[in-house]
Homo-oligomer: A and B are copies of this chain.
Amino acid sequence: MKFPFIPREEKFFDLFQASAQNVVEAAHRLKEMVDSWEHVEGSVDEITELEHKGDIITHDIMARLNRTFVTPFDREDIVQLAHSLDDIIDFIHAAADSMLLYKVSRPGPRAKELAGIIVQAAEEVEKVMPQIRKHIVLSQVLKRCVEINRLENVADRVYRSAMAELFADSSDIADVIKWREIYAHMESATDRCEDVADVLEGVAIKHA
């Protein structure tokens, strides 16, 4: 099924897409940092920059909403979408920043796995964005949303396996607490991707 859908303010979609791209970039930085474990401080700084860039985009969306009479979809969905995208990057930043601040040692395979899932979920978010422009093909939007939900479930399971391994392998209990915190931030980043998917699912269903 295809439904005509007239975007009133093309610029909103540009901003959402910029925000999603920003999330993807932050996810890649986190993945690289976790994989290479070099220039950690520099990587955290870069992610902090991207977080600020995200804040500016969110602010732009709000300011535009204020000036715009007819919006491409419900104002409350625009507000929620902007905030959820912002939240993803906040958790990516929280994970990276915690690794630096808590002075953890080189991340293990579970941290790399979670970073990989964040990249995948962020890329799904980026790919679904253009699909809510103009002609919404509902089945395609829903397919991507189902995939984001699946990735969030995988992240849940990896998180718990990571914790079980920490308990089994780590002799340093402070290390368990530090990594629990970091893994939780990473898992929360995928939760926020699911929030974005939920909003987009709702938008797509309303406009179908």
**Taking beta carbons and an 8 Å cutoff, which residues of A are in contact with B?**
59, 62, 65-66, 75-76, 79-80, 83, 90, 94, 97-98, 101-103, 138, 142, 146, 156, 160-161, 163-164, 167-168, 173-174, 176-178, 180-181, 198, 201-202, 205-206, 208
Q: Are B167 and A178 in contact (CB under 8 A)?
A: yes
Residues of B within 8 A of A206 (CB): 75-76
Q: Are A98 and B201 in contact (CB under 8 A)?
A: no
- Total copies of the chain: 3
Q: Are B177 and A173 in contact (CB under 8 A)?
A: yes
Residues of B within 8 A of A167 (CB): 102-103, 174, 177-178
Q: List 10 A-B contacts (CB under 8 A).
A: A62-B201, A66-B138, A66-B205, A76-B202, A79-B198, A90-B156, A101-B160, A103-B167, A173-B177, A180-B181
Residues of B within 8 A of A160 (CB): 94, 97-98, 101
Q: Name the distance in Å between A111's Cβ and chain B's nearest Cβ.
A: 17
Q: Name the distance in Å between A149's Cβ and chain B's nearest Cβ.
A: 8
Top 9 closest A-B pairs, CB basis? A101-B164, A79-B202, A173-B173, A76-B202, A101-B160, A65-B205, A102-B167, A75-B205, A167-B174
Residues of B within 8 A of A76 (CB): 202, 206
